Amino acid sequence: MQTEPIKPKYEQLLRDFVAQLRAIHIDQLERKWITISLLVIGLFVGIITIDAFFHGVNPPSKVETVDSASLHLNKEFAEDNLGVQVDEKGAIVIRMVAGRYAFFPKHISVPAETPLTLRWVSMDVLHGVHIPMTNMSTMIVPGYVAEITTTFPKPGEYPVLCNEFCGLGHNHMWSNISVIAKEDWTAPVKSAVKGGSSND
Ligand SMILES: [Cu+2]
């Protein structure tokens, strides 16, 4: 009973709307630029969609949460687990904690030309991390894990800088990564000892 008149009502509204749009005079040049703008927007949305669904390009957090207030009690980010670790499959995972005003650990050594997974968390406020001359740049949002996979192409000393203003000591917030030639690098002893001792 009620459903019958609703459809024609919406059709009428739509028809009125289209008629109103048609009544607006749009200059030809303006029409051209509206079309170009819409095409550009469509192109960008298309690129983002393809990257997200087919190339796996996602925000670094991937919405993986962590309790920033109790990182020291957290299994993964407890002090002993920070720094470079090599897992059973030989993949290198680096865990770093950002806090006012430093990155912990202060210094790490990693091999060049090797895929590295870096996992960052903040213990207090919003920080950022930027390693010049690499693709490493991400926000470290409290409560979330920021994960980035990267490869350092050349050996050398790389600074790790905070690029989000986090307080008065922000400009002193930095750390160091030594990138060592692949053949000269050895996995830190700590991870070998840890692997042996922490086996329950
Ligand atoms: Cu900071």
Which residues partner with 99 through β-bridges? 102
For residues 84 and 92, is the Cβ–Cβ distance under 8 A? Answer: yes
Distance from the CA of 4 to the center of ligand 1, in angstroms? 62
- The string of pLDDT tens digits covering residues 118-159 is 999 999 999 999 998 887 888 999 999 999 888 898 999 999
For residues 181 and 156, is the Cβ–Cβ distance under 8 A? Answer: no
Distance from the CA of 162 to the center of ligand 1, in angstroms? 5
Q: Which pTM value belongs to this model?
A: 0.68
Confidence of residue 43 (pLDDT cuts 50, 70, 90): very high
Distance from the CA of 18 to the center of ligand 1, in angstroms? 53
Interior angle at CA 74, CA 143 and CA 95, nearest 5:
75
